[in-house]
Chains A and B, each alone.
Chain A
């Protein structure tokens, strides 16, 4: 294996030049994990290409050598999607960061995959537009990573996930070909298949994104409640009233404490929960609905409501929320960011159960969530210097996912399955479901070299999967699917 990698390193050096190939162990190790530090593997080789042609050549070289490869953008993923292979190549897009085109008449921008999410908005804002997907990591995560994870953000309640804002992707297929997937393609929506595939179906090398017009008015308020339950009631009341806020975010006492320590956001003291509600759109609508939201929050028991008077105050309200994950470092040596989805109506019930889990196990859980669409981010805190603490935290973290599935939700809302949650997939899907997904994957990557070991619990070679089955596919047999 070492020989194969050495040959590959030489080949890549010829393709990219020595400055773009990393092969000494000390440097390689700095790439051993993404934002999920509990999974680590030092890559066999790291390459930093600058063009699609280079990536295609690398992918072909890997294919010929039978070496697995993994794409990496900014390495902020929270499910270990960019976890390298010790026997493989890590293809980093951090040097592919040119914004190629801002096409205002057609409301689109074309960017290289390593372009930072927020930089798209920065480039479009002077024209009155922005890139709507806004993960909390937007200041650093790459658009390529967003596509792979189908990332969401606080504002996807109203504007949708990354998938809703991608018009076309140029991809390097696992065969090493450069292909274009577009929303306008007739036939199967292959672009739809590709977005959210967590780097397992190919590497995107150019992305055309939709730009959204900046809203005429944005109004933001912060409402403080003494309990999470009351905050949840307010959320339900707002949605029930037919208001679609741009964002409704909730934080509990522990996450407020961390954010306060990190960025001194000055949230109301003694709050058991805060709700950040943002409305945007035409002046008249926003004004009307904003009054409605204020009233509903009060009725649900808000003891303090702060309305952001200007952009600075709005930024401060958001700063607390956006730094919440990373701020956990202030109150705990280590933590697991969980990501699950529940129907909004089960919010109170599920939070109560999480609280009970936390009490029983003595493991602290802080809660931050996109309350509008039921996307929970429980943060399970532990001290990694205490033996067994991580295992206990992981048990609690897993139990929270069970709660989500039990309530008809999902094991991931936006952070992806990656390496971390592959083992939870069977809690949501039957073997047959998983096999069906594998069939799709094999259509793209028959050799199984493109980000293997992610998403699916048991990495199987494509040949082994559906081919061995005798008789019709169970879905076909059940009349749920057709083969054509």
Chain B
């Protein structure tokens, strides 16, 4: 195995040219799978918001077809592709097997290549993509953010609405910045407790690592307590999820190669962030046209597991202590729709004595976080956040459990806006508390 700390930082992306449609998929075949039945409409968040055909999966597929037939990627068309959250609820809903995930990925790449963006759009996108995938840069941002949050200015700024007027995107970034925590650094190896049952690699993720360090620590502990040796390569970079889901395929590939290399020596890679896990499972398609990497990418995709998926496959061994708390479980789109992981987290939570799991109404509709969506489409994202928050509040749970950092930020913030703040935890943190016999209050105090 390559020693992880010998690896260089991920390359500065943007050098690679945006690719053609991956040869493995024919856009025409993919498009022809759609029979125009409309079954995907009710779970599409933008259709739920606006009730317009062009902002539904069926309508977007129709627009893609128009583009294939020669209609240019004009402003009108691009607006509707940009408004798509990439939540993949339509993939789950479609009885005809339409692979919308592939369709939108190709389309986004075409948009980035063919459609000129305005100056502000370019600036905002540039800022996001030069920040989020780089933990070190995010870390650098944390100091100023912490100072800013302590200063009492945030409430003032929020009230004044000045950011909203300047740029809704900047305002969204400000709102979403979580209270920064001190990030403890994890060791490179955490040894299994009791007899060893497995050796796993662990992805720490960019946003997860910098904004929710407690989740990574909890993940490592839970894995160790369940009998896993956990390897945490120090210099792992971004998995490329944000880039991949935003049409920046070249950039995504660079990150993917790096990640493949980093984890080549382990049998299983456990991922606790839904967006990262779904991207890594897509590496096979992403690198299909690169002969040097295709097989290695496939191998990595095959050994990638979401934390909940892995723990259920492994089976419980450590003792669960009671946690008398009522939780609402939120299905992250990149977990439920993209990876089909729905029952596992619920099963893990239900396995904790005295814990009650509540279902959130309309579980299949996205919370509006969707990677960079809440930064690029702040108005729609806020509306979706409000809907989700209202459904969460209606469960009257004490704690919201979600397995994706973006969702946690988004929903927590919407709940706060509605004056019904609720603590948020990752499935790993709830399990961690139960395995360690900590009282429920430790989760609720967040």
Which residues of A does B touch, CB under 8 Å? 22, 24, 26-27, 29-35, 37, 48, 74-76, 92, 94-95, 97, 114, 116, 118, 137, 139-141, 261-263, 323, 325-330, 333-335, 384
19 sampled A-B residue pairs with Cβ under 8 A: A26-B63, A26-B71, A30-B53, A30-B62, A32-B62, A33-B36, A34-B36, A35-B37, A74-B41, A76-B37, A95-B50, A95-B51, A114-B51, A139-B42, A328-B35, A328-B96, A329-B97, A329-B98, A334-B35
> Which residues of chain B are near A32, meaning CB under 8 Å?
62
Question: What's the least CB distance linking A102 to chain B, in Å?
Answer: 16
B38: Cβ under 8 A from any A Cβ: yes
Q: Does A37 lie within 8 Å of B36, measured CB to CB?
A: yes
Question: What's the least CB distance linking B50 to chain A, in Å?
Answer: 8
Interface string of B65-83 (1 = CB under 8 A from A): 0100001001011000000
B382: Cβ under 8 A from any A Cβ: no
Q: Does B54 lie within 8 Å of A27, measured CB to CB?
A: yes
User: Within the complex, which residue of B38, B52, B74 is in contact with A137, where a contact is CB–CB below 8 Å?
Assistant: B38
> Which residues of chain A are near B50, meaning CB under 8 Å?
95
Question: What's the least CB distance linking A310 to chain B, in Å?
Answer: 16
> Which residues of chain B are near A141, meaning CB under 8 Å?
38
Q: Does B42 lie within 8 Å of A48, measured CB to CB?
A: no
Q: Does B97 lie within 8 Å of A261, measured CB to CB?
A: yes
Task: State whether A116 and B36 are in contact (beta carbons under 8 Å apart), knowing that A31-B53, A262-B97, A263-B95 are contacts in the complex.
Answer: no
Task: State whether A333 and B32 are in contact (beta carbons under 8 Å apart), knowing that A27-B54, A30-B53, A261-B97 are contacts in the complex.
Answer: yes
B286: Cβ under 8 A from any A Cβ: no
Q: Does A326 lie within 8 Å of B54, measured CB to CB?
A: no
Task: State whether A48 and B52 are in contact (beta carbons under 8 Å apart), knowing that A35-B37, A325-B37 are contacts in the complex.
Answer: yes
Q: Is the interface of B mostly helix, strand, loop or mixed?
A: loop
B412: Cβ under 8 A from any A Cβ: no
Number of interchain pairs (Cβ within 8 Å): 88
Q: Does B76 lie within 8 Å of A326, measured CB to CB?
A: no
User: Within the complex, which residue of A26, A74, A139, A329 is in contact with B35, where a contact is CB–CB below 8 Å?
Assistant: A329
Question: What's the least CB distance linking A162 to chain B, in Å?
Answer: 18
Task: State whether A326 and B42 are in contact (beta carbons under 8 Å apart), knowing that A30-B59, A35-B36 are contacts in the complex.
Answer: no
- Per the bound structure, the CA–CA distance linking A384 and B41 in Å amounts to 25
> Which residues of chain B are near A262, meaning CB under 8 Å?
95-97
Q: Does A26 lie within 8 Å of B96, measured CB to CB?
A: no
Q: Is the interface of A mostly helix, strand, loop or mixed?
A: loop
- Per the bound structure, the CA–CA distance linking A328 and B63 in Å amounts to 23
- Per the bound structure, the CA–CA distance linking A252 and B52 in Å amounts to 36
Q: Does A30 lie within 8 Å of B54, measured CB to CB?
A: yes
Which chain A residue lies CB-closest to B71? A26
> Which residues of chain B are near A326, meaning CB under 8 Å?
35, 37, 39, 94-96
Q: Does A116 lie within 8 Å of B42, measured CB to CB?
A: yes
**Other A-B pairs beyond A26-B63, A31-B53, A48-B51, 8, CB < 8 Å:** A26-B77, A30-B53, A92-B53, A95-B50, A114-B51, A323-B95, A326-B37, A335-B35
Count residues of chain B with CB under 8 A from any CB of chain A. 28
B33: Cβ under 8 A from any A Cβ: yes
Interface string of B139-167 (1 = CB under 8 A from A): 00000000000000000000000000000
- Per the bound structure, the CA–CA distance linking A179 and B96 in Å amounts to 41
> Which residues of chain B are near A94, meaning CB under 8 Å?
51-53
Question: What's the least CB distance linking A377 to chain B, in Å?
Answer: 14
B103: Cβ under 8 A from any A Cβ: no
Q: Does B96 lie within 8 Å of A327, measured CB to CB?
A: yes
- Tell me the B19-44 residues at the A interface (CB within 8 Å): 32-39, 41-42
> Which residues of chain A are near B42, meaning CB under 8 Å?
116, 118, 139-140
4 pairs of A and B residues whose beta carbons are closest in the complex = A329-B96, A94-B51, A323-B95, A326-B95
Which chain A residue lies CB-closest to B63? A30
Which chain B residue lies CB-closest to A119? B42
Question: What's the least CB distance linking B390 to chain A, in Å?
Answer: 16
Q: Does B59 lie within 8 Å of A26, measured CB to CB?
A: no
> Which residues of chain B are near A22, meaning CB under 8 Å?
52, 54
Task: State whether A35 and B38 are in contact (beta carbons under 8 Å apart), knowing that A261-B97, A323-B95 are contacts in the complex.
Answer: yes
- Per the bound structure, the CA–CA distance linking A34 and B62 in Å amounts to 12
> Which residues of chain A are near B97, meaning CB under 8 Å?
261-262, 329-330
Q: Does B36 lie within 8 Å of A137, measured CB to CB?
A: no
- Per the bound structure, the CA–CA distance linking A327 and B52 in Å amounts to 25
User: Within the complex, which residue of A48, A140, A329 is in contact with B38, where a contact is CB–CB below 8 Å?
Assistant: A140
- Per the bound structure, the CA–CA distance linking A334 and B50 in Å amounts to 30
Interface string of B89-113 (1 = CB under 8 A from A): 0000011111000000000000000
> Which residues of chain B are near A323, meaning CB under 8 Å?
95
User: Within the complex, which residue of B35, B38, B54, B98 is in contact with A75, where a contact is CB–CB below 8 Å?
Assistant: B38
Q: Does B66 lie within 8 Å of A26, measured CB to CB?
A: yes
- Per the bound structure, the CA–CA distance linking A325 and B38 in Å amounts to 12
Question: What's the least CB distance linking A24 to chain B, in Å?
Answer: 6
Task: State whether A24 and B76 are in contact (beta carbons under 8 Å apart), knowing that A37-B35, A140-B39, A140-B42 are contacts in the complex.
Answer: yes
